[in-house]
Amino acid sequence: MAVTISDETLIQQALAGRQSAYAMLVKRYEKYVFTLALRFVKNREDAHEVAQDCFMRMFRYMADFRGDCKFTTWLYKIVYSTALNHLRKNKPDILSLDDDVRPLTLKDEGAPDASSELERDDRNAALHRAIAMLSHDDAGILTLFYLYEQSLDEICQIMDLSMSNAKTKLCRARQRLKSVLETNFQAEYGGQHAPGAR
């Protein structure tokens, strides 16, 4: 039975100069990093570029990882900042949706039938389009909280925010999402609340 080497051990070995340890970390997290990058930049070519930049930054800043958070949270922070820098540099006005990314879903209430599933799918598609209409910061914090289920503590580390600032940003992002849904997606969300915007 193969023994899995911990991230921390691989980090120490990589810092000591073992290239194979760094290569193992890259292999372990390449799909994770690519999927996260794709969620932000929305096309595969840019996601590959962002992922490569992330692994270069991971190598460059590996000595700064202190182990006071999960390695995946630290790595997510690198992906988040690298993707945002890429987006700001290329200045897209509106983020598009990507079918390869796991959709943000709403909780199903009651027994599913064809009609209710179709309505739920319509609401989920509208929700994704509404999030895509928000600023990168609003879309980012909503995606972290709802799609990737990051805790507020993890969001604070990823986005370099204080707890009160993270709560305020999340609350305001929810309000703006609610406004976009009410203004642009009345058919899908007529009389319904956006996630967390009650």
Per-residue pLDDT averaged across 114-127, rounded? 66
DSSP letters spanning 183-194? HH-HHHHTT-PP
Q: Assign 98 a pLDDT band (cuts: 50, 70, 90).
A: very low
Domain with 166, as residue range(s), is 114-189
For residues 65 and 136, membership in a common domain is answered with no
Q: Where are the alpha helices (DSSP H) in 16-134?
A: 19-41, 44-61, 71-90, 114-132
> Residue 172 has what pLDDT?
94
Burial of 108 (0-12, 13-18, 19+ CB in 10 A): exposed
CATH number at residue 135: 1.10.10.10
Q: Which residue has the tokens 């988040």?
A: 80
What pLDDT shows up at residue 46? 92
Domain contains 36: yes
Task: Using alpha carbons, list the distances in angstroms from residue 91 to 6, 85, 95, 142, 164.
Answer: 38, 10, 10, 20, 29
The alpha carbon of 89 is separated from its chain's Cα centroid by a whole number of angstroms, namely 19
Query: Is residue 121 pLDDT above 90, yes or no?
Result: no
Read off the pLDDT band of 52 (50, 70, 90).
very high
Residue 198 lies in a domain: no
In percent, the amount of the chain with pLDDT more than 70 equals 77
Residue 163 banded pLDDT, cuts 50, 70, 90: very high
How many domains in the chain? 2
- Which tokens in the block code for residue 80? 């988040």
Residue ending a domain, choose from 75, 90, 105: 90
Assess whether 77 and 13 both reside in one domain: yes
Whether the predicted model's global pTM rises above the 0.75 cut? no
Residue with the bigger pLDDT between 66 and 30: it is 30
Exposure on the CB side of residue 40, measured as CA atoms within 13 A: 33
